[in-house]
Structure 1
Amino acid sequence: MTTEQQQLTDIRNQIDEIDRQIQVLIGERAKCAQKVADIKTQGGKVDAVFYRPEREAQVLRAVKERNDSVLPDESMAKLFREIMSACLALEQPVTVAYLGPEGSYSHASVLKQFGSSVVAHPVSTIEAVFEAVEKGEANYGLVPVENSSEGVVKSSQNELMRTRLKVSGEVEMEIHHCLMSQSLEHAQIKKVVAHQQALGQCEQWIKNHLPGAEVEAVESNALAAKMAQADATLAAIASEEAAQLYQLNILDRHIEDYHDNNTKFWVVGKDITQPSGLDKTSLIISIHNKAGALLDVLECFSKRNINMTRIISRPSTEKTWDYVFFIDVIGHKDDANLKEALDEVETKSAFYKLLGSFPVSPL
């Protein structure tokens, strides 16, 4: 055996021993997860909450803070995300409804937030995501709320106005679109299909590269990929994962008009999330029709040095030329300073709805 072969053999033996130790420790962690489940269900409890987003956020932040290895912080956190997902599945399988079918960006965001041990439950519309959670068919739902280039997702906004569900988590995904088809040539493409948001994000690219093609909006990008699988004259806009899943040829990558293209997703459910130490709170308000009304509301936050990260207006469905505002601020609703601000906002608003508080995502 050469010196190089001996060195490699020694290192591989070290790796084998380290893997053995890692496996033993993961097994010990799994036992602890089972003990947690036993404690939560003792006495026949049936309403125990197993998924605690604030606890998971704290664990993942700690993983990143203590990471001093050659692995990047994000990679280390993703490894622990999967360990936590498998352990949670031992306590209670978690079902999450999302805009399907499999292979959509919503599906990818479910896996990012909950790990691959989640029970992903695809439905056909955003409205059906909320309905599945409200009816108890899923523990949580995950919906897109805003894209960095195309703005808000109106159907999600509509449901957030209507529902009694709470926002309990936030996921941000980089979105890089691919053009895919059974065909291998652009000349054979007669129609491009995708979700309306994706078509908007790729509008200029389509005009420049497929000027003669018809454009059709469908319920999801993954559905578009399924349609393209059945018709070689169609091209879908979707993810690389969708191309692999539906066995399509990728004709072009990164076709989004703005390459800094991100979509924000929210987790919705029936549970109220406890403080994690670094949180956001979201609310919806409408204001009285008088001079300075919006300024009066915003001063409730500014005078307490509360950072507002987002404010979006949209027409009210109740009254012509009236508007509602979606507002995000830093902090948890139970933080004394923010609680005081929210109480004051409610007194100054014509309509007030607290959507929930949730951890700032560590991933």
Structure 2
Amino acid sequence: MTEKEELRRQIDATDEELLALLNRRQSLAAAIGRIKNQEGSRTLDFRREEEVVAHLIHLNPGPLSHTALRNIFREIISAAREIQAPLGVAFLGPEATFSHLAALKKFGYASRFGPMATIQEVFGEVEKGKYHYGVVPIENSTEGVVNATLDLFAETPLKICGEIYLEVSHDLVSKSGQKLDIEVIYTHPQAHGQCRNWLATHLPEIPVLEVASTGVAAQKAAKNPNSAAIASAFAAPLYNLRVVEPRIEDHSGNVTHFFVIGPDAPGPTGRDKTAILFAVDNIPGALYKTLRPLAERGLNMTRIVSRPVKTEAWRYLFYVDLDGHQSEPEVREALSEIEQISAHFKLLGSFPKAPGVEKLS
């Protein structure tokens, strides 16, 4: 037996051990699922899942990278959820949108995914209970906030349950893969903004038509041989398209931030954020006074965005993210003060911080 054959024999033996351990883990997960059903508790426990992965990363001596470990256990945990109870997740579709990819990164392939035509439909289907959770874009690092998502948080009873930061890279794709065949380009408005300089330089005469998502753009390009789409690299094989030009975004390091929405906010993990929205009276220093409880307690505000109130001209809602969980004494006290000062206040939820930026590969 050669050295290579011996190493392969050892790998086969290790795989058999892994298989036995994975099945043992699934049996334990099924037993926990039965207990959850008796208790009437939900299948998904964000805090527990984060604790499991964080513990394993802490113990990991290598050579397995932390990223690879996280990806592997995402699917192991996803399979464990499936054996307990299938988990339904709605996202802005169709398949191969960045919202779809973010949902896969968060929930794993064993979940049941539902593509929705609009962000409003994602909220609506989760509110009706047709899906357990939804994944919606909230902000892009180059194009800014997604206003449709922010506006819906003012109305929905849903909570923010989690977050995902996803690397975003755009390919120009078409049926033939040839630039000379392109007479029109389909794209989502955010993707258009992220690739505007490249398009102006390389295809300045080609009209650009904006559609509901990058997935819809890919679908349209698949039906029209004289068109192209700006979409993710995952869209090309799914819709039988070829890459005309890869990575056409104007800025490398482009990242989109997504929120997970659901009926309940998870408990504290020790690495959390809290999201709120509020309105202030139109008097001098009102915003300063409203935010002062955060500064006095040393609480870090990670985002503030304003949006106009739809029912009252020149009135604004402020959306704020801050470090900490609503159950922590200092956070709870600060939120109580803000609520008393504000003309309107809404707690959108506390949720675990994302561990980092998820890569597309």
TM-score by length of 2: 0.96
What SS is found at the alignment partner of 1:305? coil
Aligned equivalent of 2:97: 104
2:335 equivalent to 1:342: yes
Query: How far apart are the structure 1 equivalents of 2:145 and 2:227?
Result: 27
Greater displacement, 287-296 / 117-126: 287-296
- Distance, in Å, in 1 between the alignment partners of 2:204 and 2:78 is 45
* Shift of residue 293, structure 1, vs aligned partner: 1.2
1-structure distance, mates of 2:119, 2:108: 21
Alignment of 1:1-363 (within 5 A): 5=2, 7-42=3-38, 47-362=40-355
Contact 1:183 1:189 in 2 (8 A): no
- Tell me by how many angstroms 1:71 deviates: 1.8
* Paired residue secondary structure (1:17): helix
Verify the 8 A CA contact 2:324 2:331 in the aligned structure 1.
Answer: yes
What CA deviation, in whole Å up to 9, does each residue of 1:333-363 have, x standing for no partner? 1111100110001011111111100001225
Distance in 2 (alpha carbons) for counterparts of 1:41 and 1:146: 36
Secondary structure of residue in 1 paired with 2:161: strand
Partners of 1:317 and 1:290 in 2: how far apart? 20
Output the CA distance in 1 between the equivalents of 2:78 and 2:109.
7
Shift in Å at residue 14 of structure 1?
1.6
How far, CA to CA, are the matches of 1:274 and 1:245 in structure 2?
38
SS of the residue 2:210 aligns to: strand
Structure 1 length normalisation: TM-score? Answer: 0.96
Query: What letter is aligned with 2:42?
Result: V
- Percent identity at matched positions? 40
- 1:252: Cα distance to partner? 0.7
Partners of 1:204 and 1:351 in 2: CA distance: 41
Q: CA deviation at 1:48?
A: 2.6
CA contact (8 A) 2:160 2:351 kept: yes
Cα RMSD (Å) = 1.2
Please, which runs of 5 or more residues in structure 1 have no aligned partner?
A: none
Q: Assess if the C-alpha contact under 8 Å between 1:221 and 1:236 holds in 2.
A: yes
How far, CA to CA, are the matches of 1:317 and 1:222 in structure 2? 30
- Matched letter for residue 23 of structure 2: G
8 Å Cα contact 2:151-2:307 kept in structure 1: no
Contact 2:187-2:213 at 8 Å conserved across structures:
yes
